[in-house]
Structure formats: structure tokens, C-alpha cells
């Protein structure tokens, strides 16, 4: 019997291996993170940046909805970004599970 919340190793096994980031993806992630770190609106927020196939994925929490928009706009402004998946949310707000 499996526990209701499987540990990470089982989840990784079921999902398969994570794709290796390309050097372009790593470069884009660094550029987006740098852009977010120097902007006054986003610099002290809890934002994680990942890039897969030149798609930027923003996760974490922000203090206000406006900060979410600014972070997405900043990511879009980095040359080479093909798309932005902005899942940033204000603290205390939960994702709807349906």
C-alpha cells in the first residue's frame, strides 16, 4: 500500500528523469534572476526561476498582485525567452484543487 503522499523518490520515478537544462536555459535563468534581483519591485520577493526549452517558469510568493505582473514583464523582456509561465501568488492564497 502506498502512503497518500508519496516521497520524492517515488514521484521522480513515476515522472521519469528530469530533463537536463541546456546551456541556453541556464543562461536565460541566470539573466532573468539577475533582472528580478536588481529591479526595485521584485528584488526582495520570494521568486524562483526555472527555464525549460526557453520557457521561463516563475514560482513563489509576492507581496502584491502588481509585483506578479512586473516579474512576468521583466522575464518577457529578456532576449531569447520564448514564453513565461507565471505562477507567482500572494502569500496565504492557495491553489484551487478541483
Range of the domain at 26: 19-86
> 9 by DSSP, 3-state: which?
helix
In a domain, 27, yes or no: yes
* pLDDT tens, position by position, 64-89: 999 999 999 999 999 999 999 999 99
Looking at residue 21, what is its pLDDT?
Answer: 54
In a domain, 33, yes or no: yes
Rounded to two decimals, what is the model's pTM?
Answer: 0.72
Give the residues across from 84 on adjacent strands: 56
In a domain, 1, yes or no: no
Looking at residue 71, what is its pLDDT?
Answer: 97
Q: How many other C-beta atoms lie within 10 A of the C-beta of residue 60?
A: 15
In a domain, 60, yes or no: yes
CATH number at residue 78: 3.30.1340
In angstroms, rounded to a whole number, what is the distance separating the alpha carbons of residues 33 and 47?
9
Grid coordinates in use for 42? Answer: 521584485
Number of domains in the chain: 1
* pLDDT tens, position by position, 5-55: 444 444 445 555 555 556 899 999 999 999 999 999 999 999 999 999 999
Amino acid at each position: 500500500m502506498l502512503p497518500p503522499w508519496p516521497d520524492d523518490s517515488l514521484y521522480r520515478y513515476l515522472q521519469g528523469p528530469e530533463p537536463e537544462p541546456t546551456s541556453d536555459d541556464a543562461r536565460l535563468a541566470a539573466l532573468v534572476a539577475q533582472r528580478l534581483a536588481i529591479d526595485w519591485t521584485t528584488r526582495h520577493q520570494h521568486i524562483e526561476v526555472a527555464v525549460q526549452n526557453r520557457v521561463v517558469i516563475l514560482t513563489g510568493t509576492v507581496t502584491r498582485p502588481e509585483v506578479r505582473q512586473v516579474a512576468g514583464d521583466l522575464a518577457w523582456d529578456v532576449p531569447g525567452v520564448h514564453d513565461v509561465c507565471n505562477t507567482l501568488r500572494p502569500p496565504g492564497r492557495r491553489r484551487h484543487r478541483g
